[in-house]
């Protein structure tokens, strides 16, 4: 499973359009969640795993590599943390929380 990056073909699309790479990357299970959990600060492998409902370590490890390839997270002395890019992504996804609560009310 290769890491979807802009300017190169991604799963299901050969256009290389950046937004398609985003959909491919974030559409893989756990990726959005992992970034979300790291919003509030760095976490170790095992803490992150616990916070992501004990997702399997093999998948977590795989995801960490993908997200690192995509320059959205990086390792630090205190654990994995968002890069600047990862942070700005989370900021653009931030309004999702508000949307989710509207959604919740309407259902």
Partner DNA sequence: GTATATTGCTACTTATTTCGTAGCGAATTG
Partner DNA sequence: CAATTCGCTACGAAATAAGTAGCAATATAC
Instruction: Give the residues across from 43 on adjacent strands.
Output: 80
Instruction: Name the strand (E) or helix (H) holding 87.
Output: helix 84-93
Cα atoms in the 13 Å half-sphere on the side-chain side of 90: 20
Residue 56 contact, options its own copies, DNA, none, Cβ 5-8 Å cut-off depending on partner type: DNA
Look at residues 3, 19, 2 and name the one whose alpha carbon lies nearest to residue 70. Answer: 3
Residue 73 in the binding site for its own copies (CB under 8 A): no
Residues that bind DNA (CB under 7 A): 1, 11-12, 28-30, 44-47, 54-59, 61-62, 64, 75, 79
Q: Which residues bind its own copies (CB under 8 A)?
A: 5-7, 12-13, 18-23, 26-33, 36, 52-53, 55, 70-71, 85, 88-89, 92-93, 95-104, 106-107
């Amino acid at each position: 499973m290769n890491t979807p990056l802009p300017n190169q073909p991604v799963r299901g699309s050969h256009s290389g359009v950046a937004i398609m790479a985003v959909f491919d990357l974030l559409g893989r299970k756990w990726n959005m969640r992992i970034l979300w959990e790291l919003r509030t600060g760095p976490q170790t492998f095992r803490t992150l795993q616990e916070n992501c409902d004990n997702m399997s370590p093999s998948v977590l490890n795989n995801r960490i590599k993908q997200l690192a390839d995509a320059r959205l997270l990086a390792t630090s002395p205190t654990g994995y943390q968002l890069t600047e890019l990862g942070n700005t992504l989370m900021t653009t996804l931030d309004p999702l929380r508000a949307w989710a609560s509207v959604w919740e009310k309407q259902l």
